[in-house]
Chains A and B, each alone.
Chain A
C-alpha cells in the first residue's frame, strides 16, 4: 500500500529523516509519534508528495511516487490537517465537492455523496451551505474529514487532525473517528504527539526520534517491552500527569 524505503530528507542542512524504512499496513491505522522535530510530519508530507526525499523511495500502491504519477496518486489519498485547511471562500458544500466537480461528477452524484458523508460524520445538512468561518472548530474538522473521504480514497493521511481542538470535543471526535475508520476499513497514516491518542487509534505505533524509527510495534508491545531506554522514557514522560496525581493522592 504505502512503503518508505531508506528515506533521507534534509531541511537546509538539518536532517529531518535519516534512513527510515516503514511499511504502512493495509486497512489498519498506523500512528507516527515522537518528540518535536523527530520527522513524523516529514514522513506524512513525503507520502502526500508535498516534498521529495533526498534519498530513498516512497512507494504507493505498487508504484514509485514521482512527478508523473503524483496527481492520480493524490486522487486516491485523503488529507486532513490540524486546522482543517478548509478554503475560507467556499461553502462547506463546495469545499467538500470541489475535486469531484473537477472530475466531472454529476451534481446528483455529488449531492448523494455529500449526504452520505454528512451522515457519517454527523454534520447537520443545513451546515452545507455555510462558510468555514461560520462553523466551530470541531465542525470544521468533521468537514475536513468529509473532504478527505469525498473521492473514497484508499489511504487517509492525517496530520494532528484533532490537535487544535479543546479536550472535551477532542475526546468525542476521537471516538467518532475511530468508529468511522473501523467501519470504512481504510488504511490510515496518522501523526500525533499524544501517546494516549496514538494508543487509542493505532493498530501499530511507530516511534521516531531524530529522523530514525526507534520502534514499530503494537501499542501493547510498545508499552510493555520498549526496544530501548528512549521508548521507556517517552512513555514515562507522557504518563507524568497520572503519576503526579497518584503521588499527590497517596
Chain B
C-alpha cells in the first residue's frame, strides 16, 4: 500500500512543479482581472461624463470636488480623480483626455507648463492653449502664490521682515517642497534674485514641511498664501521685497471640446470665475485641514452659501470603501505580479543560459529598479494615460528584478555534476531544464516571487498619485491632512495584504518545491548506514 502511494506521489511530482506555478499565476491574474472592473462605459443617450482632476493638495482637491458637484448639478455623470501626483501628470492627463478639467494657477501655466513660449499677452496665451485643445477660465477670484515663511518667534529674534533679511543669516535651515526646490520659478530663481547664501536646503513633501517646522527641524520654508496652516503653526510670511514671485491666480484649465460636448457643465464651471476670494479659500482649506471636514462637505457648503446651489452629498461607508480599495489594490498587484512571473522566469532562464546575455538582462532589470516610481509614471503617461494601466505596467517592471535575479541565481547554483549527469543521461536541453533544473531552483525562484509580491504591495500604494486608487489613496490623503488615523486605514490593510500574500506563497511552497528538497539529511542516512555492511555478499 505504502509503495503504491509513494509511486503515485513520485510520478505526479514531475509535472507538479510546473502545474502548481501555472495555477498560482492563473489565480493571481484571475484575482487581478476580477478585481479590476473597467469604468462603466457611457451609453449613447446619457449626457457626456465629465472627469475632473486635482493635484494632491487640499485646495486643489476642494476645487476639484466643487467642480464635480457642479457637473453633477448640470446633469452630467461626473468623476473626480483626486490627488494626482503633480503638474506634469495633470497636464498630460488633460491633453490625452483622461481628465476634462482641473484647477491650476496662472503662474504655473505660464512659467512651467508653457515655459519657453511667448505668452506675454492674453491673446498669445489663449492661442498657445488653443493649439493644444485647451482653454483657461478667468481667475476664480483669489491668488495662491508662494511665500517664504519663518516661525514668528524666530522672525522676531532675528528681525526678519523681508526676504532680503535672510541674506544675513546663512546658517538657517531651509526646507522646501520638492516641486518648489526643482522648478525654475522656485528655489533656484529665488536664490539667484535675492543672492541667498544658505546651503542647508532640503526637499520634502509640502505637507511634511509644516511638521518639520513644528518639530524644529526647519527654520525657513515656502508656503502657499492660502494655506490654513500659516495661522495654525504661527508662521510669518516675509515680504517679497524684490517682487520675485509671480502672479498665481487660480484658474480652471479644461479641454476645448468640452465646451461643445457639455456646454451646460462648462457654463456651470465658469460660475466659479471671480466667485472665491482669498479669505474664503483659506477658510475652506482650514475647514478641511484643521477641522477635519470632508472636501465634499466643504465644497457643498460653499456651493449652497456662495452660489445658492443645493447639492446632495453622498458618503460611502467605511467597509464598502475598504472593500473597494482592497479590490483596486488586488487588481493592481494581481495582474502586475502574475504577468511579471510569466515574463521574469523565462528571462531568468535565458540569463542563465548565456553569461553575456545574463549580464545584459540583469543590468537592464536592475536599472529599471532605480527609476523613481513617479518618474516612471511620467514616462508612461503619454502612452498609457493615468490610472490602472500605467500603474500595472510600472508595477510589472518593478517586479521583474527579484524574480529574474533569483531564477538566474537558482539555476546557476545547481552543482555542475548534477547538470552533467542530466546531460550524459541523454536528456535534451529542454527536458533538463524542465525536469531537473527548474524543480531544483524552485525554492529560490519562489523566494524571488515572494520578495516581488511584498515590494509590489508596497509600491502599489504610490499608484494613488496617478489615480489608480487602492490603499495609497487614504495614505495620500492622510499625509495631506496630517491625519494619522487615515494613513493607518491604508497602511494597515497594505501590510496585512503583504503578509497574506507571503503566507499564500509559503503555502504554495509545499506544492512547488519538491519533497526531496525539503527533507533533512539526518534520519535516513543514519538509519541505513549499516546496510552496506549487513547486506549479503554477491
Contacts and interface: CB of A to CB of B under 8 A. Distances in A.
Contact of B538 (A85, A122, A139): A122
Interface in B103-134: none
B420 A85 contact: yes
23 contacts: A48-B424, A49-B423, A81-B421, A82-B417, A83-B417, A85-B417, A88-B516, A89-B13, A89-B516, A90-B13, A90-B516, A91-B10, A94-B13, A131-B515, A134-B519, A134-B524, A134-B528, A136-B531, A136-B532, A138-B532, A139-B528, A172-B532, A175-B538
A66 B75 CA distance: 79
Contacts of B428: 71
A239 B516 CA distance: 42
A39 interface: no
Given A89-B440, A91-B10, A179-B538, A133 B524 contact: yes
Contacts, number: 133
Q: Name which of B421, B422, B515 has the most chain A CB atoms within 10 A of its CB.
A: B421
Interface stretch (A13-21, A29-37, A53-61, A72-80): A72-80
Given A81-B421, A85-B417, A131-B515, A168 B10 contact: no
Interface of A: 48-50, 71, 74-75, 77, 79, 81-83, 85-91, 93-94, 98-99, 102, 122, 124-139, 147, 157, 168-169, 172-173, 175-176, 179-180
Nearest to A150: B425
A138 B531 contact: yes
A93 B10 contact: yes
Interface in B500-520: 514-517, 519-520
Contacts of A86: 421
Interface of B: 2-3, 6-7, 10-11, 13-14, 417-418, 420-428, 431, 435-436, 439-440, 514-517, 519-521, 523-525, 528-529, 531-533, 535-538
B424 A74 contact: yes
Contacts of A139: 528, 531-532
A131 B516 contact: yes
Given A48-B424, A49-B424, A134-B523, A87 B532 contact: no
B531 to A, nearest CB: 6
Contact of A50 (B420, B427, B523, B538): B420
Contacts of A93: 7, 10
Contacts of B10: 90-91, 93-94, 129
Contacts of A124: 531
Contacts of B521: 133
Contacts of A71: 426, 428
Given A90-B10, A99-B425, A168-B533, A133 B514 contact: no
Contacts of A85: 417-418, 420-421
Given A133-B524, A139-B531, A176-B538, A99 B515 contact: no
Contacts of B423: 48-50, 74
A105 to B, nearest CB: 13
Given A50-B423, A83-B417, A134-B525, A88 B440 contact: yes
Contacts of A129: 2-3, 6-7, 10
A79 B424 contact: yes
B3 to A, nearest CB: 6
Nearest to B17: A89
